[in-house]
Structure 1
Amino acid sequence: MRKILLCLLMSSSLLSCAQNNPAIPDLYKEVKFKNKNIHYRLGIQVAACNFSLFINDVPVVRNFEEASGTFNTSAPVNDLILKSGKQHFKLILYPGFKNGLPLPALAENILAKITVEGLKYEGEGVKTLIDPFTILEIGGEGKKFTEKGKTTAVYEGTFEAKVPYDLTAWSGSKDLRKEDPATLEKEVLAFYQQYISIVKEKDEKALARLVYEKEKYYAQALFLGQDGSQAQWDAYLDLTRNSTLVMMPLEKYKMNFYANGRLVTLERIDYPNIGEPALRSESQENGRTVVGFYFCQLHKREGSNQLELIH
């Protein structure tokens, strides 16, 4: 079985944007500051433990697997940087798993290193605007790891980022932690079921209406060009046109809040799916089962009681 992460995000707004706004493949025409594009990426290296990494209290990368070897990746974070200034990061370390069972405490040989760099895409080329710099280093030649024997260790700090845009996104949204959790969870589940119904009914017009505002935000944050906007829409169309794709039941999840309570989502709590989106599909590819999972981070605009997907 193979897993794929599909960053298909939805808005629950039923506004008829398809009639009054350009189609999603044309959103690149609304992107500003293309000549000033800068793409921030994190270099992430963590060894001998599991972890969650957040930028501005929104998850970037998580890893909950067997506690062996070193996890290495590079992750884009422009969609978590809403405006220039200080950006907050938080790394939470957890004991890993052994034979499918969680270890009781953090080991002494843990290593972690997080770097930031700024890139500019110029056609087919990439130019380095900001050389990689380290914002956190634990173990090895960095800060000594002193949390051996604990069940978690938390490291926080800030770094400066400069972007040409200033995006509202969820920055002025309601703090959903203040709402009745049972009522809110019912609303979130209703949203998820709406998503599932659209995919089952293969209603591409409804899908276009639902994702428009999210895609507009995403296009600007990533400075998408024509190919990028088309690729976003093509990924959505795969949901409605893949004849083998089946949406899976929502199960083994927990409602979690991010962005200081302004975002809410459902995430799996079962190993080895811990922290993954609860919204999932299965499809067939070359005789193999492919599991897709889809981020749905919802917010409520100030003055509104309607959930919309913004990230």
Structure 2
Amino acid sequence: MKKTILYLLIGCSLASCAQEKKKMNDNLIPDLYKEVKFKDQKISYRAGIQVGASNFVLLINDVPVAQNFEEAGGTFNTSAPINDMILKSGKQHFKLILYPGFKNNVPLTALSENVLAKITIEGLKYEGEGVKTIVEPFTILEIGENGKAFTEKGKPTAIYEGTFDAKVPYDLTAWSKSKDLRKEDSATLEKEVLAFYQQYINIVKNKDAGALAKLVYKKEKNYAQALFLDQEGTQNQWDSYLELIKDPTLVMEPVEKYKMNFYANGRLVTLERIDYPNIGEPALRSESKEDGRAVVGFYFCQLHKPEGSNTLELIH
């Protein structure tokens, strides 16, 4: 079964709109490029990630960037954009959490002596089909092989953290002033999150593009600025949403086998799966058909309560 990661974060209101209102809302996301500032100073930071002989989660400013919860053998390599985790210039915090992983679908209990990890940061500028290096790659963490010795063998987890500098021209509020949701009643908050997810499911079923565009606006505005999206970029974002609600084969799955997790020092909340091999994946999922094959889609949905509000909103 094929899995597809869909970075679609959709809001919670189901209020219907008049046809004229829907047409206006349909243009909200494609037109966001007009609000993007500092295009002449744009820089795209990326994290180069190499982790071997263990599972892991990498967080930047306490927001997940990448993770892997599968068989522990081999080495995981990727390069991930991190601008949308960087809200302003200055010191950025990183944390790498290592886990033993699985062997033949059975969870291991201790980290191997063969663990290695290397995290690098670089700053790029995309110009059409070309790429210019603004900040040369630099290493923020290296363990094993050429790095410092791995000394956590036999432990159930290992955590490495530190800071690095990043310079961006924008300053986004986003979730920086939001409520610390860890201080709220856990059972009540979970019900609110589940209600949000159910309303999202209803939006998909109703195929309400106008309401969808209005409700993802804040998230998409932040994303457009952080990634310095141009007209093609914001149109591509909207096209992804349209593909979701127009797919006649798509069926939303039940929200199940999950745990409520907090990020951004408690300012973001989301539901993530706890069952292997879906550990750490979003609990909001769908199934559709592609060339006769089943395709599982999952949707990152990180919510916050803005300063002065008691209502969950989608922000990342």
1:42 maps to which residue? 47
Q: Residue 219 of structure 2 is aligned with which of 214, 217, 220?
A: 214
Post-superposition Cα deviations, 1:252-285, rounded to whole Å, max 9, x if no partner, equal 0010000000000000000111100000011111
Conserved? CA contact 1:14–1:210, under 8 Å: no
User: What is the Cα deviation at residue 209 of structure 1?
Assistant: 1.4
- Partners of 1:113 and 1:252 lie apart in 2 by 32
Q: Measure the CA separation in 1 of the matches of 2:27 and 2:206.
A: 23
- Distance apart, 1:69 and its partner CA: 0.7
2:10 paired with 1:5: no
Q: Aligned-pair distance for 1:117?
A: 0.3
Task: Name the amino acid aligned to 1:27.
Answer: L
| 2:172 alignment counterpart | 167
Q: Give 1:80 deviation, angstroms.
A: 0.1
- Contact 2:14-2:203 at 8 Å conserved across structures: no
Q: 184, 188, 202: which one pairs with 2:189?
A: 184
Residue number among 93, 105, 118 corresponding to 1:100 in the alignment: 105
1:82 paired with 2:113, answer no
Distance 1:294 1:253, change over 3 A: same
> Residue in 2 aligned with 1:119?
124
| Structure 1 partner of 2:229 | 224
Q: By how many angstroms is 1:240 displaced?
A: 1.1
Aligned residues with identical type, % of pairs? 77
Q: CA 1:267–1:123 in 2, change beyond 3 Å: closer, same or farther?
A: same
| Match among 183, 198, 213 for residue 193 of structure 1 | 198
> 1:228-247, CA deviations, whole angstroms, 9 ceiling, x for partnerless residues?
10110011011111111111
- The one-letter code matched in structure 1 to 2:10 is M
**Which letter does structure 1 place at the counterpart of 2:67?**
R
* Structure 1 position 96, deviation (Å): 1.4
Tell me if the contact between 1:48 and 1:109 (Cα under 8 Å) persists in the aligned partners: yes
Deviation at 1:10, TM superposition (A): 2.2
Q: SS state of the match for residue 197, structure 2?
A: helix
Offset from partner CA, 1:149-205 (integer Å, 9 cap, x none)? 000000000000000000000000000011111110111001000000000111111
- Partner AA of 2:207 in structure 1: K
What is the aligned counterpart of 1:299 among 304, 311, 316? 304
Cα offset for 1:12?
A: 3.4
Shift of the alpha carbon at 1:216? Answer: 0.8
Alignment of 1:271 with 2:272, yes or no, is no
Q: Is residue 243 of structure 1 aligned with residue 248 of structure 2?
A: yes
| Aligned: 1:73 with 2:78 | yes
Is contact 2:25–2:213 with CA below 8 Å preserved after alignment? Answer: no
Equivalent residue of 1:264, what SS? Answer: strand
CA displacement 1:130-158 (0-9 Å, x = unmatched) = 11110000000100000000000000000
Shift of 1:210: 1.1
- Please, what TM-score do these two structures have when normalized by structure 2? 0.96
- Whether the 8 Å contact between 2:45 and 2:122 is mirrored in structure 1 is yes
The CA distance in 2 between the partners of 1:165 and 1:269, in whole Å, is 36
Distance 2:159 2:218 in 1: 34
Letter in 1 for 2:7: C
- 2:260 alignment counterpart: 255
Q: Give the 3-state SS of the residue equivalent to 2:262 in structure 1.
A: strand
Q: Secondary structure of the equivalent of 2:216?
A: helix
For residue 26 of structure 1, what is the amino acid of its counterpart?
D
Aligned equivalents of 1:305, 1:226: Cα separation in 2: 34
- How far apart in 1 are the matches of 2:99 and 2:129? 39
Any conservation in 2 of the 1:13–1:308 contact (CA below 8 Å)? Answer: no
Q: 1:55 aligns with which of 53, 60, 81?
A: 60
CA distance in 2: counterparts of 1:57 and 1:225, whole angstroms: 28
The superposition leaves residues 55-81 of structure 1 with CA deviations (integer Å, 9 ceiling, x where unpaired) of: 000111110000111000000000000
- Pick closer, same or farther for the CA change 1:14–1:287 going to 2, 3 Å: closer
Q: CA deviation at 1:213?
A: 1.2
Give secondary structure in 1 for the equivalent of 2:298: strand
The residue that corresponds to 1:129 in the other structure is: 134
Dislocated runs of 4+, deviation >3 Å: 11-22
Q: Which amino acid aligns with 1:5?
A: I
> In structure 2, how many angstroms separate the alpha carbons of the residues matched to 1:217 and 1:130?
23
CA distance in 1, matches of 2:244, 2:125: 31
Q: Secondary structure at the match of 1:74?
A: strand
**Letter of the aligned partner of 2:8 in structure 1?**
L
CA RMSD of aligned residues (A): 1.5
